[in-house]
């Protein structure tokens, strides 16, 4: 009977891990969709990679995908009640499906990073934040300017 209980526990653990991974894919895809759905594939990959750069370099912004995504006021489309995106949900459109694929592939490490070192970004439709300096600038992809605020080593010069 103990063997059966152990197998059941192992199955539950595996199921929980799978559910956690799927949650990370869905919420990462939601941020990608909300923040870069008009940018095309490269912009979406860049947003995903900048988020995962934060996860790879744990700091005040969090240690896990979920902590990083839901850190207050870091991704306004997820946490700022003044952001209209907070209540916008994807329909059954091809962009949403693409964002899910980008999120899954990014989490699995299957995508080249178009913005090495970038851990922050802003859309040029808003005034540049104080943290967006020429020294931290990495690259602009479409309307999004990417920055490397922690000056980490993966940035390619």
125 located within any domain: no
User: Cβ–Cβ contacts within 10 Å for residue 140, how many?
Assistant: 14
Domain of 91 in residue numbering reads as 2-112
Among the listed residues 6, 106, 4, 125, the one whose alpha carbon sits nearest the alpha carbon of residue 56: 106
Residue 155 confidence (pLDDT) above 50 = no
Per-residue pLDDT, 73: 85
Per-residue pLDDT, 28: 98
How many separate domains does the chain show? 1
* Rounded Cα–Cα distance for residues 24 and 40 (Å): 21
CATH code of the domain in which 84 resides: 1.10.10.2520
When pLDDT is cut at 50, 70 and 90, the band that residue 111 belongs to is: very high
* Rounded Cα–Cα distance for residues 39 and 45 (Å): 10
71 located within any domain: yes
* Rounded Cα–Cα distance for residues 36 and 1 (Å): 52
Residue 156 confidence (pLDDT) above 70 = no
Q: Rounded mean pLDDT of the chain?
A: 89
* Rounded Cα–Cα distance for residues 106 and 100 (Å): 10
Q: Produce one character per residue of 61-98: b if its CB has 16 or more CB atoms within 10 Å, e if not.
A: bbeebeebbeeeebbbbbeeeebebeeeeeeeeebbeb
51 located within any domain: yes
Per-residue pLDDT, 6: 64
Per-residue pLDDT, 152: 77
Q: Please report where in the chains the tokens 């919420």 appear, as a residue.
A: 27
- What whole-number percentage of the chain has pLDDT above 90? 66
Residues 102-113 have a mean pLDDT of 97
Alpha carbon of 141 to those of 8, 38, 53, 56, 117: distances in Å? 48, 11, 17, 22, 14
Per-residue pLDDT, 95: 96
129 located within any domain: no
Higher pLDDT, 17 or 130: 130
């Amino acid at each position: 009977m103990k063997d059966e209980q152990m197998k059941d526990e192992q199955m539950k653990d595996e199921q929980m891990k799978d559910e956690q991974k799927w949650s990370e894919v869905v919420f990462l895809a939601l941020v990608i969709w909300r923040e870069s759905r008009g940018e095309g594939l490269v912009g979406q990959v860049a947003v995903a990679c900048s988020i995962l750069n934060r996860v790879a370099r744990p700091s005040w912004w969090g240690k896990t995908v979920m902590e990083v995504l839901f850190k207050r006021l870091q991704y306004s489309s997820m946490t700022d009640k003044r952001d209209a995106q907070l209540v916008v949900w994807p329909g059954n459109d091809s962009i949403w499906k693409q964002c899910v694929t980008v999120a899954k592939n990014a989490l699995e490490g299957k995508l080249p990073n178009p913005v090495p070192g970038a851990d922050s970004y802003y859309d040029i439709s808003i005034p540049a934040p104080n943290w967006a300096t020429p020294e931290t600038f990495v690259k602009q992809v479409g309307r999004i300017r990417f920055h490397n605020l922690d000056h980490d080593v993966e940035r390619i010069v």
